[in-house]
Chain A
Amino acid sequence: MIPRPKTCLPLLWALVLPASGAPVHVTYWEKWVGFEGQAIQAVIDRFNASQDRIVVDYYATSSVDRKTLVATAGGDPPDIAGLHEQNIATFADAEALEPLDRFIRAEGMSNEQWLARYYPVYAGICSHGGHVYAGISTPAVMALYWNKTLFREAGLDPEKPPRTLAEFNAYSRRLTRRDPATGRLTQVGFLPQDPGWWPWIFCRWFGGNLYSDRRITFATDPRNVEAFAWIRSFTESYGLDNVKRLASEFGPWASPSAPFFTGKIAMVFQGVFYDNYIHQYKPGLDYGVGPWPEAVPGVDDFAMAEADVLTIPRGAKHAREAWEFIKYVNSSNPNARSREELEGAELLDLLQVKISPLKVWSPFFTDHNPHPHIAMMRRLASSRHATSVPDMGIWQEYYREVISSFDRVRLLDATPEEALGYSQARLDASWERYRRSLERHGQWAALGETSPP
């Protein structure tokens, strides 16, 4: 039966309306669930309510990097992908990401002006090969966490963390306890493998470079070798069997049986997010947070930074609208004096109890951030000695080699020279192969001029 004109009209309206007046739906894939997911949803709700053109739809997605890659290759990516910082160079070189330069230009800013709004370490994370590929969603900065109760028991001043590497080593020795009957470790001052996520940072802490003058310098920089010798010294001092047995008692890092929470480790390097987990799994723990001890004379407030990032995959259907949301999350209301006035980055970071990656903080965010050590974290994030992962397309391979060398050295299966030398040979070959691949695709010339840090 053919519909009568009276019935057809509403149907026609229904077809025409979405094209003309309905808001654009932006798909956003992100890795967060739990309270972090709730925080980003609150920011999305605030953004959606702030205008009537764009609606951001949040999809919590596991293995978001892999799924984004496959979806992009299939021509149906999300409009926004919440990736990890270490994905940026690899994804950008694989032409999986949309550069944000044109959107920034449309805002009347140059890339440099846009990036100048962030603390330098986060500005570096956003860009690769002279282009801006990402905005920060959640920044992190790592600091020294120490257990004040264990400090007291060891006769150390709980308010004075170690200030130099020598002090750190001495404190670690004093904080180590053994069972008098068996000689087994019951507590250690520090153990490099906990949490073991960033062993490369020890190289940077010791002043070493992982990449310099367009060459891999993992084994050729003596400071890296020195850092790994320091890592090895802990196993040598504690005894390999003792370390293995103690480590096998450790529960997952985010659980009540994590070694820092059970008092088996007195000092760890952990991120701004760690306080949330302390409050969740070990409420009442008496702990302090401070800067990394000075390992290289003159390099004070050394810190490691990392971030989750917002990107627009290549082929995203609503790139312009996606940029609007990324811009919102990477901006704030510098005059906010109440929670209701907070916007973008500060709203998200307040809800996730973290720092803002932006240099300018509003009065409310500064004074009312629930993070108990926010001032220290801000100091470290803004430090000129803060560093992040090298901006290079083979970082994933590099990282695996660092982990492998780290394992071999800490388990006394190889000397630092042997382990780093083996990895260096593999990485030299990988870098050469990567360079050749970029040349084949006509990308090396443009990229080669920008050296990773």
Chain B
Amino acid sequence: MTRTEKKQLRAGLAFTSLWVVGLAAFTAYPVVASLYYSFCDYSILKSPVWCGLENYQQLVHDGLFWKSLRNTLFYAGLSVPLGTAMALGLAMLLNCETRGRSLYRLLFFMPSIVPVVASAMLWLWIFNGEYGLMNGFLNPILGLFGLHGPAWLADPSWSKPALVIMSLWGTGNAMVIYLAGLQNVPHELYEAAEIDGASAWQRFRHVTLPTIAPVVAFNAIMALIGAMQLFAQAYIMSEAANGNGNASDGNPERSTLLYSIYLFSTAFQDIRMGYASAMAYILFLITAALTWMAARLSRSRTEDAL
């Protein structure tokens, strides 16, 4: 290393030192410490006592761990593909040359900047079984068959689908990224495909999709990670819709007990930080595995398409 390079290295380290210290103190240390605590009987104020694999063994036999995992996978399994389809569909519509396109883009993006609590309160009203907008729309149709719209958040069978529907409202961020991706698709490819007689679907399937595949993969993976960590919306809506002062159990009947909510109540209500740390690491491993699978799948699909 030359003298100039050493000088540059020192300057570089000096400039990044604050960030490095921050990363070490507020990210790296907690991550490593929580790994240690996951093998301990630890309640934050008392000294951690090493208990080996006990927390992980208890997790295997914990019915609520599995229930919260099932609930989370159900939510992620529905919200990620539906959210992807919706964001991509909206982006394609907003990519068309229409009058007032900027206004439409603004309108569809706006929900994603509404604070979580505000949007949750709005959706509580929409999902009100009797006076809500959703059933106000559904009931005239269902009434033809002698049916009535569900109680949504107060009904264990419909509370998770309600959360999925709510998640579709906030696809504005993904939509903007898709829009940017769509605008990068070379126009010549569409013209060539059109000359070759490709239909609209064929142009989408063989031109648009392969070109924006990396964008789709990025958005899907980010949505997957977000879905696995969903907390605030479910926490607020469970409490407000069921009103028993116990938001941390995913009521009704633990139908919206998502993994993050169970982790939270274990850590901060039961003060079982060791067990919660073990749960956090399991979530990390599951999310990492799913992300790896999604990335691998998207790569192979992209290669196939090309």
Contacts and interface: CB of A to CB of B under 8 A. Distances in A.
A411 B253 contact: yes
A177 B81 CA distance: 46
Contact of A94 (B46, B63, B128): B46
Interface stretch (A160-168, A275-283, A294-302, A391-399): A391-399
B268 to A, nearest CB: 5
A244 B155 contact: yes
Contact of B128 (A91, A248, A411): A248
A248 B127 CA distance: 9
A396 B156 contact: no
Contact of A408 (B154, B243, B253, B271): B253
Interface residues of B, number: 38
A436 B64 CA distance: 21
Interface string B37-55: 0000101111101010000
Contacts of A314: 45
A324 interface: no
Nearest to B124: A252
A270 to B, nearest CB: 13
Given A94-B44, A411-B253, A437-B41, A195 B63 contact: no
A196 interface: yes
A396 B253 contact: no
Contact of B253 (A73, A195, A407): A407
Contacts of B246: 399-400, 403
A73 B44 contact: yes
Contacts of A397: 269-270
A248 B151 contact: yes
B68 interface: no
Contacts of B249: 400, 403-404
A133 to B, nearest CB: 14
A249 B131 contact: yes
A403 B130 contact: no
Interface in B123-172: 128-131, 148, 151, 154-156
B246 to A, nearest CB: 5
B248 interface: yes
B148 A245 contact: yes
B251 A69 contact: no
Contacts of A66: 268
A359 interface: no
A403 B244 contact: yes
Given A197-B245, A252-B243, A244 B129 contact: yes
A247 interface: yes
B252 interface: yes
Given A253-B243, A403-B244, A407-B252, A433 B46 contact: no
Contacts of A429: 61
Interface in A90-108: 90-91, 94-96
Contact of B46 (A95, A247, A404, A436): A95
A196 B58 contact: no
B129 A94 contact: no
Interface string A415-436: 0000000000010010001001
A84 to B, nearest CB: 10
Interface in A153-207: 193, 195-197
A429 B43 CA distance: 18
B44 to A, nearest CB: 5
B60 to A, nearest CB: 12
B243 A90 contact: no
B252 A94 contact: no
A195 B242 CA distance: 9
B244 A244 contact: no
Given A69-B271, A244-B151, A248-B129, A196 B45 contact: no
Given A252-B243, A400-B248, A411-B156, A441 B271 contact: no
A436 B61 CA distance: 17
A249 B130 contact: yes
Nearest to B273: A73
Contacts of A45: none
A96 B249 CA distance: 24
Interface in A194-246: 195-197, 241, 244-245
A250 B252 CA distance: 16
A249 B129 CA distance: 7
Nearest to B251: A407
A94 B274 CA distance: 13
Contacts of B45: 69, 72-73, 94-96, 314
A341 interface: no
Nearest to A67: B268
The CB with the most chain B CB atoms within 10 A, among A249, A407, A429, is that of A407
A13 B175 CA distance: 64
Nearest to A250: B243
A426 B66 CA distance: 13
Contact of A245 (B51, B151, B240, B265): B151
A440 interface: yes
A72 B240 CA distance: 30
Contacts of A52: none
Nearest to A408: B253
B269 A396 contact: yes
Interface string B241-284: 01111101101111000000000010011110000000000000
A244 B222 CA distance: 36
Contact of A404 (B131, B243, B253): B253
Contacts of B64: 426
Contacts of B46: 94-95, 441
The CB with the most chain B CB atoms within 10 A, among A252, A433, A436, is that of A433
B97 to A, nearest CB: 45
Contacts of A436: 41
Closest 10 CB pairs of A and B: A248-B129, A196-B244, A396-B269, A249-B130, A248-B130, A244-B151, A400-B249, A407-B253, A73-B44, A94-B43
Given A94-B271, A411-B252, 13 more contacts: A91-B271, A96-B271, A197-B245, A252-B243, A253-B243, A400-B248, A404-B253, A407-B254, A413-B253, A426-B63, A433-B58, A440-B49, A441-B41
22 contacts: A66-B268, A69-B44, A69-B45, A73-B45, A94-B43, A94-B271, A95-B45, A96-B271, A193-B244, A195-B244, A196-B242, A245-B129, A248-B151, A396-B265, A400-B248, A400-B249, A407-B253, A408-B253, A426-B63, A429-B61, A440-B51, A441-B41
Interface of A: 66, 69-70, 72-73, 90-91, 94-96, 193, 195-197, 241, 244-245, 247-250, 252-253, 314, 394, 396-397, 399-400, 403-404, 407-408, 411, 413, 426, 429, 433, 436-437, 440-441
Interface of B: 41, 43-47, 49, 51, 58, 61, 63-64, 128-131, 148, 151, 154-156, 240, 242-246, 248-249, 251-254, 265, 268-271
